[in-house]
Structure 1
Amino acid sequence: MAEAPAVAVNGDKLETTSQAYLESQAVRETRALISELYRHFYNLGWVSGTGGSITIKVHDDSIPKSRQLILMSPSGVQKERMESEDMYVLSHDGSVLSAPSPKF
C-alpha cells in the first residue's frame, strides 16, 4: 500500500495522520460541531439518551479529500452531554487513530 502523501498544515509539511493534523483547527472545529449538533438535536427531541451517531468528514482544503479524517460520535454517551473529546478519529480508510476515554 502506498504511503499517505504529505500535506501542509499551517505552512508545515506533514503526513495526513500526523499529531499536528489530528490536533489541527479543522479537526477541533469538527469535533466542536458534532457536540453542538447533538445538543441542538437533543433539545429538538430528535435524539434521546445514548442512541444514534453522527459521522462527519473533516473539511480541510490543504488535505486531499480522499485523505481527510473522519470524526464519529460514540455510542453509550448521553448526547446532550457530548464533548469534543468524546469523538473517535478515523483515518480515511476507517482505521481508528484516536478513541475517547471511557466515561465512568
Structure 2
Amino acid sequence: MAAVPAVAVNGVRVGISSQAYLESKAVKETKVLISDLCRQFYNLGWVSGTGGSITIKVHDDSIPKPQQLVIMSPSGVQKERMLPEDMYVLSPDGSFVWEPSPKPYPHKPPKCSDCGPLFLKSVWRSS
C-alpha cells in the first residue's frame, strides 16, 4: 500500500485526505468560489440549468502543487442553486477524497461530472 502524501496545515503535517486539510481555508474558499461562479455564469446566460461544470485546483502556497486537491462541481445540479457543500474534492490522482451527501427527494443523488477525467488532465497540465 502506498503512503498517503502529507502536507502542512497550520504548521501540522496531515494526510491530503485528512479532515484538517479538507476543512482548510483554501479548500473552503475554492468551494465557495466555484458555487459563486456557477451562479454568476447561469445569471449571465453562459450555462444552462444543469449544463456545464467548473473544476479548480486548490491554491495553497504551503502545499506542493503535485499534492494540491481539486474541487469539481457536480453534474445534474441547477447552477443557480449550487452550494459549497455540493462540490466534489479529488486527490491529485483523481480519486474522491470527499463526496457530497445526497439531498432529500425530489433531488437526484449527487454525481460527479462525466467530464471529470478531461478536467483533471487540464488542471494538472496547467501546474
- TM-score bracket, normalised by the shorter chain, equals over 0.9
Would you say how many aligned residue pairs link Structure 1 and Structure 2? Answer: 104
Deviation at 1:57, TM superposition (A): 0.4
Aligned residue number for residue 95 of structure 2: 95
Counterparts of 1:23-34 in structure 2, within 5 Å, are 23-34=23-34
Q: Contact (CA 8 Å) 1:16, 1:63: kept in 2 or not?
A: no
Aligned residue number for residue 79 of structure 2: 79
Aligned residue number for residue 51 of structure 1: 51
SS at match of 1:8: strand
Inter-partner Cα distance in structure 2 for 1:63 and 1:2: 19
Inter-partner Cα distance in structure 1 for 2:101 and 2:17: 20
Aligned residue number for residue 65 of structure 1: 65
Residue identity matched to 1:35: S
Aligned residue number for residue 5 of structure 1: 5
Percent identity over the alignment is 74
Gaps of 5+ in 2: 108-127
TM-score (norm 2): 0.77
SS at match of 1:101: coil
Aligned residue number for residue 41 of structure 1: 41
Inter-partner Cα distance in structure 1 for 2:25 and 2:3: 24
Gaps of 5+ in 1: none
Deviation at 1:2, TM superposition (A): 4.6
Inter-partner Cα distance in structure 2 for 1:88 and 1:6: 20
Residue identity matched to 1:29: E
